[in-house]
Chain A
Amino acid sequence: MRSILLALALALVAGAGVACSDRSGTDDSGTRPVAAVDPLTAAKTSFPGLEPARPGDLPLGLDTASPAPGTVAVVPGPFDDRFVLRGVRLADGVVSGRLTVTSDVSDLLELEVVAGFYDADGRLLTTAKAVHHLDEAVASHEEGPPDETAPFRIAVPRRLLDRVASAAITVPVLVNE
């Protein structure tokens, strides 16, 4: 092992933009950036014009889905060609089903199924989601081939149980290993 932290770590302090914590130094071989490069500015850590994500943003299409009473609509998302849905239904205050990844045979790292719940007039009342996150730091592999079928259950908030007439789901997040 002859390489180590070349020059820096840019510690990004919450709410304070970029704060530089120069941990520069050289490893046992003396490796360091040459004058032509500047480790403090080489990594692009800000993107003018990029609106930071707002965690409460709705996936596109859920606000206008307006599914018919008694149904569960599937709103198009970016990864619809990578999975199949089976058994999707709204019953007993829960939208549920199974998603099977068809594009890869590997561990499922990230999956979010977002559901919108609507009243009898098709107005969006609220949203909720089912999240699958594989923590690689603690993950252990299941027996056999990777299980690429993820069942999901998304409950209607108790306060809205008597108003929800339909649902729509979409999949905005999907990452395989």
Chain B
Amino acid sequence: MRMPARGTTALLTLALAASLAGTAGIAGAESSRHGDQADHGKNGKIKNVIYLLGDGMGRTHVTAARTRYYGADGHLVMESLPAVGQVSTYAVQQGSGQPGSSDFAPNYVTDSASAATAWSSGVKTYNAALGVDAKGNVVPTLMEYAKQAGLRTGNVSTAEITDATPAGQMSHVLLRGCQGPTYSASACQNPTLTGGALPTSDVRVTPVADQIARNGTADVILGGGLSRFDAADESALEAQGYDVLGSPATQTVATKTDLAGTSAPKVFGLFNKGNLTIEKYKRENPSSVQAQEPTVADMTAKAISLLSSGKKGFYLQVEGALIDKRSHANDAAQTLEEIKAFDEAVRVARDFARRDGHTLVIVTADHECAGFNIIEKGTFTNAEATTPPANTDGGNTANNSTPSRPSGGAKDPVRSTGPVNGSGAGDPKNFAPATFRTADDPAGVVDGSPDASLWLTYLSGNHTGADVPVFAYGPGSDELEGSIDNTDLFDIVGGALGLTD
């Protein structure tokens, strides 16, 4: 399903890079979209892959963050990467075969677990599954392959490290809720799929935290979720040679000072008992305990420095998780700030790749979250969630829809989950709509006012089936151009690292 043909894309890209290389005005990557095209065609051998994803980050999330922080003519770092494509994200039903098989049964809207399994293991699976296919079979992950092949490996997230996205590379469970610290039959067993309860020694019902602490899949593990781990996990990690920052045994969170002080080849550092803290809170409360958490950019920089000493290269996954979590809450202000924080991690990765010359940087998402949209001032409707507007146009009947709705309809309780912040829609601190000043606005325009130029709205509080963007930099980045499926990411990264051919 990939298109266009890779070879054609590569040639076009090389030609474009050659034509741009001698021109002025493309030096600043963020000042010009695709400003890195000049060195995009570098024929370096790929040694490392840095795979970054903004959880829940759809195309509109990127556009909104760009507009919010840099204005209509600005660009996020990720938008400066020269290769651009789009990724389909659908999942499948439990028990489904793979696409093309007679028992293939798609589910158009994925969750983070199914999506993570798609790029980690190259298979479609059901929502909630991690490291298993839709029939419940264990499927190895790229990070496991990388580890086996002698590459250095790292896994960074602003979520609990047992959460779906990081766990997708380093665990195998039937249900993503099987996180730990304790086993729970309801959270771990899936008797509908397996025909009965599996023994608790089966990896597929072994809590993710127990697996991560013992399988050594990632050399560098940085994120949140200390509550999922206990004293036995700490002992298991130390027995494998990890420098454990903080302490699972005493539930002492690690700090950014701890992170800065380590140079061990294997590091386990969790900086919050749950998910890491949103940047907005840390910025506004610099003396808080939470402000001692590193940013996703800090963790990315440290992970690269720890992993890049390996002779065989490294594979690092980085997740900006709070984009999704705040999108579920329809919290545009914090969603946008988390996208900016994630973009700073992209900057770190891109800058390393520029210096290194042998690193492929991929930036994408697992799915879109909440139907995020940029709307024209004063046009908020959220049609599906509240009251559908009229869909017939007395002045131009060519605009009319079927079925005809000459006046406003009513909310369909079967199809609609209703307004997320309906009763508070008029309050600027709520969503629906949210308005934000941008770099294009005159001085004095403030967030939340009708004068602010960026109007944002949501369709729901959950994931959508929209394709997500992918941006890439470095040798091999042309592989990401065009339309791909999320399972193609497995092939591309595996091929780049020499793990699959």
Q: Do they bind each other?
A: yes
Instruction: State whether the Cβ of A15 lies closer than 8 Å to any Cβ in chain B.
Output: yes
Type the 1/0 row for B180-217, where 1 means its CB is closer than 8 Å to any CB of A: 01111111000010001011111110110011001111
Interface set, chain A 1-52, CB cutoff 8 A to B: 1-12, 14-15, 21, 23, 29-34, 36-39, 41-47, 49-50, 52
On whether the beta carbons of A5 and B184 are closer than 8 Å, the reply is no
| Binding stretch for chain A, among B12-20, B124-132, B344-352, B355-363 | B124-132
Residues of B within 8 A of A78 (CB): 181, 227-228, 251, 273
B483 to A: closest C-beta gap in Å: 11
On whether the beta carbons of A144 and B500 are closer than 8 Å, the reply is no
| Binding stretch for chain A, among B294-302, B324-332, B440-448 | B324-332
Instruction: State whether the Cβ of B9 lies closer than 8 Å to any Cβ in chain A.
Output: no
Instruction: State whether the Cβ of B137 lies closer than 8 Å to any Cβ in chain A.
Output: yes
Residues of A within 8 A of B192 (CB): 137
* Contact residues of B: prevailing secondary structure: loop
- Closest A residue to B99 by CB, please name it: A1
On whether the beta carbons of B498 and A42 are closer than 8 Å, the reply is no
Residues of B within 8 A of A112 (CB): 184, 186-187
User: How many chain-B residues does the 8 Å CB contact rule pick out?
Assistant: 92
> Quick one: given A9-B139, A49-B236, A50-B206, are A110 and B184 in contact (CB under 8 Å)?
yes
On whether the beta carbons of B198 and A14 are closer than 8 Å, the reply is yes
Residues of A within 8 A of B121 (CB): 6
Instruction: State whether the Cβ of A141 lies closer than 8 Å to any Cβ in chain B.
Output: yes
Partner of A79, one of B145, B227, B485, B494: B227
* Contact residues of A: prevailing secondary structure: loop
Residues of B within 8 A of A163 (CB): none
User: In whole angstroms, what is the CA distance A133 to B172 when docked?
Assistant: 19
On whether the beta carbons of A43 and B172 are closer than 8 Å, the reply is yes
User: In whole angstroms, what is the CA distance A172 to B207 when docked?
Assistant: 13
Type the 1/0 row for B254-290, where 1 means its CB is closer than 8 Å to any CB of A: 0000000000000000000111000000000000000
Partner of B491, one of A3, A81, A131: A3
Residues of B within 8 A of A88 (CB): none
Count of A-B residue pairs with CB < 8 Å: 234
Residues of A within 8 A of B232 (CB): 50
B331 to A: closest C-beta gap in Å: 7
B279 to A: closest C-beta gap in Å: 17
> Quick one: given A106-B325, A110-B184, A146-B461, are A52 and B201 in contact (CB under 8 Å)?
yes
B52 to A: closest C-beta gap in Å: 20
| Binding stretch for chain A, among B36-44, B399-407, B416-424 | B416-424
Instruction: State whether the Cβ of A91 lies closer than 8 Å to any Cβ in chain B.
Output: no
Partner of B144, one of A11, A12, A44, A145: A44
On whether the beta carbons of B177 and A175 are closer than 8 Å, the reply is yes
On whether the beta carbons of A175 and B215 are closer than 8 Å, the reply is no
On whether the beta carbons of A173 and B182 are closer than 8 Å, the reply is yes
- Closest A residue to B233 by CB, please name it: A50
A: which residues have CB within 8 A of B? 1-12, 14-15, 21, 23, 29-34, 36-39, 41-47, 49-50, 52-55, 57, 59, 78-79, 81-82, 103-107, 109-110, 112, 131, 133-134, 136-137, 141-146, 172-173, 175, 177
Provide 12 A-B residue pairs closer than 8 Å at the C-beta atoms, listed in order of the A residue: A4-B100, A12-B203, A45-B203, A47-B210, A55-B185, A78-B181, A112-B186, A133-B186, A137-B127, A144-B461, A172-B184, A177-B328
Besides A31-B494, A33-B494, A42-B148, 4 new A-B residue pairs in contact (Cβ under 8 A), listed by A number: A37-B148, A43-B141, A79-B274, A134-B177
